[in-house]
Amino acid sequence: MEKILNYINGELVAPESGEYLDNYDPSRGTVYSQIPDSDANDIDMAVSAAKEAFPLWSKTPREERSRLMLKVAELIDENHEMLSRAESKDNGKPLKLARRVDIPRASSNFRFFATAILHESTEAHRMDETAMNYTERTPIGVAGCISPWNLPLYLFTWKIAPALAAGNTVVAKPSEVTPMTAFLLSKLCIEAGLPKGVLNIVHGLGPKVGQAISEHPDIPIISFTGGTATGKRIAATAAPMFKKLSLELGGKNPNIIFADCDFDKALSTSVQSSFANQGQICLCGSRIFIERSIYDKFRDAFAEKVQKLKVGDPLAESSHLGAVVSKPHMEKVLDYIDLAKKEGGVVLTGGQQIVTAGELSKGYYLAPTVIEGLDYNCRTNQEEIFGPLVTLTPFDTEEEVLTMANSTPYGLSATLWTNDLNRTQRMSTSIKAGVVWVNCWLVRDLRTPFGGVKQSGVGREGGWDALQFFTEKKNVCIKL
C-alpha cells in the first residue's frame, strides 16, 4: 500500500514517529494509502529547513522565483490527468470536476503569482521640499499554510504560491483527509528544481501538526482555510504571539432569486451552486430565497432538475455527484437532514444515503436534498452543513430577504438574480458578504479580493491581496 511521505528540506521523508494513518477512498469506503502521523518534531525539522532556506530564497531575483514557479505550473499541467484522478480518488468528487476545476486552478495559482511578482509596483509620497517617502515591501520569513479537504490542491496552492512568490519559505499542512495531491505536488517541486527547504509539506492531524504550526515561534505568519471552529483555535494560539493571520472560514451563503431574473439561467446555475462538489464548497448557495410570485414555479422546476442528478462512481462520466469526503461527514449531513425534519422542514427530493451494489457499496453517497418550509432562523438555516443539502424560502420584499440573508453568523458570499440595475446596487451594498455574484456563480478573477466577513474569516486572499498579505510594508522617509 502506498505510503505518503513528508517533504522536508528537499527530500521525501518518513515521519519521525514512524507512525502512519489510514487514507480512505470515499467512493469505495476502502483504505488505499497511508499518511504520516507527524507531530511537532516533524514541524521543527521543517521550520529549521525553511529558516535556513529563507535568506537565499528571499534574495533570489524575482525572475528566477518566477521561472521556478512557472516550471511547477508546467509540470502540474503535464500531469493533469494523474493529478485529477488522484484528487477524485482522495476526495470523492467526480473526475470530470477535478479535471475541469481543481487541477487547472492549481496550475493557474502558481502561474498567476509567478507572473504577478514581475509587475509589482510600490508607492512614494513627496512632502514638498521636506522629505520623500517610499514604501518598501519585503518577505516576512517562514509562512505557515494550512488547508482543507474540499478543494485540496486548489486551496493548498492558493496559499503556497503567493507565499513563495513574495519570497517567503513555507511550511504547509494539507488536510489529513485528502493528502494525496499535496504529496504528488512535492514530487513535482523536486522535479522542477525548487531549492531545498523553500517548500516543506508535513502531513498529519490538525490538532497535532496544525497546532504545532500555529504555536511555532519561528512562523510569524499563518494562512488558514477551513472551518470556523478551527479558525478560532488557530487565532487563540497565534494572536497572543502577534502572528499575522489570514483566516478563510465557513459559509452559509444566500442565493437570492427575484421574479425579474432570467429564469432558466437562475434555475440551471442554482443547481450547480447548490450541489457542485457534493455541496462541499464554502461558496455554495445553501439557502435559496425566491420571490413569492415565482416560488412555486421555481420550486417545482428546481426539485425536478435535482431529482434527475445522477449520484454515482466519481470515475463515471455520467455522474453529476460523487461521494462525500468521509463517513463522519456523511453522518454529519444525515444528522442535519433529521434535524431539518424535526424543525418542520418538508423534503422535496433526496434526504437519504444512496447505497449501490458492487464495489461502491461501502462508498459515502448522499442524494442531493432540497427542503422547504423552514424558518429562516432555525438551526438548519443558520449552521454550516457543507453537504448536498439546500433549503428554499419565499420572500415578498427586499427588506425581508435582506434580513433573512444577513441573519447568520457567516458572511462569505452571496448570489443575486435580477435584471434591475438599481436593485442590484441596493442589494449588493446591503448584503453582508465578501463576494456578491450577480446573475452568475463562482466566476473568479484572481486579481479581485476574496474573503468573508463576520465568522467567515479575516484577511483577504486571492490576487494582489495575497501578495500584500505575505509581505511586510515599511515606510522609508528621506530628508530632502
> What is the binding site for ligand TXE (CB under 6 A)?
146-150, 173, 175-176, 206-207, 210-211, 214, 225-227, 230, 233-234, 248-251, 282, 384, 386, 412, 452, 456-457
The number of angstroms, rounded, from the C-alpha of 175 to the middle of its chain's C-alpha atoms is 11
In whole angstroms, how close is the CB of 229 to ligand TXE at the nearest point? 7
Residue for grid cell 476526495: 91
Q: Give the number of C-alpha atoms closer than 13 A to the C-alpha of residue 464, restricted to the C-beta side.
A: 8
Torsion of CA 274, 453, 443, 186, to 10 degrees: -90
Alpha carbon distance 228, 252 (integer Å): 12
d(CA 4, CA 379): 39
**Residue with smaller CB distance to ligand TXE, 142 or 282:** 282
Q: Which is nearer to ligand TXE, 3 or 233 (CB)?
A: 233
Beta-carbon contacts of residue 9 (< 8 Å; ≥ 6 apart): 45, 46, 48, 49, 52, 196, 197, 200
| CB of 310 closer than 8 Å to CB of 319 | yes
Q: CB of 177: closest distance to ligand TXE in angstroms?
A: 6
Catalytic residue among 248, 291, 372, 384: 248
**Least distance in angstroms from the C-beta of 195 to ligand TXE:** 25
Q: Which is nearer to ligand TXE, 383 or 400 (CB)?
A: 383
At closest approach, how far in Å is the CB of 307 from ligand TXE?
A: 26
Dist. CA 286–CA 295, nearest whole Å: 16
The per-residue DSSP string of 243-304 comes to: -EEEEE-----EEEE-TTS-HHHHHHHHHHHHHGGGG-STT---EEEEEGGGHHHHHHHHHH
Question: Whole-number minimum distance, CB 121 to ligand TXE, in Å?
Answer: 28
Closest contact distance (angstroms) between CB of 459 and ligand TXE is 11
Which residue do the cell numbers 504555536 mark?
215
The residue among 198 and 249 lying less far from ligand TXE, judged by its C-beta, is 249
Partner residues linked to 436 by β-bridges: 414
Residues 139 and 472: their CA atoms lie apart, in Å, by 6
Query: 376 near 327, Cβ under 8 Å?
Result: no
User: Toward ligand TXE, which CB reaches closer, 76 or 325?
Assistant: 325
What grid cell was written down for 382?
A: 443558520
Closest to ligand TXE by CB, 84 vs 280, is 280
How many other CB atoms are there within 10 angstroms of residue 273's CB atom? 25
Measure CA of the first residue to CA of the last residue in the chain; give whole Å.
68
Of 21, 237, 249, which Cα lies nearest the Cα of 147? 249
**Catalytic residue at 282?**
yes
To ligand TXE, the closest distance from the beta carbon of 396 in angstroms equals 30
CB nearer to ligand TXE: give 341 or 454.
Answer: 454
CA distances from 188 to 7, 75, 77, 182, 262 (A): 11, 6, 11, 10, 44
CA torsion sign, 212 to 213 to 214 to 217?
A: positive
Q: Cell numbers of 180, please? A: 494525496
Per the residue annotation, which of 16, 282, 291, 372 is the catalytic one? 282
SS3 (DSSP) at 416: strand
In the complex, minimum distance from the CB of residue 155 to ligand TXE, in angstroms, rounded to a whole number: 6
Cβ closer to ligand TXE: 148 or 388? 148
Pairing of strands 169-173, 199-201: parallel
DSSP label of 310: P
Q: How far is the CB of 211 from ligand TXE (least distance, A)?
A: 4
Q: Known catalytic residue: 248?
A: yes
Query: Considering beta carbons, is residue 370 or 412 the nearer one to ligand TXE?
Result: 412
Sign, CA dihedral 274-276-278-280, equals negative
Give the Cα separation of 254 and 382 in Å (integer). 11
Please identify every residue annotated as catalytic.
Answer: 248, 282
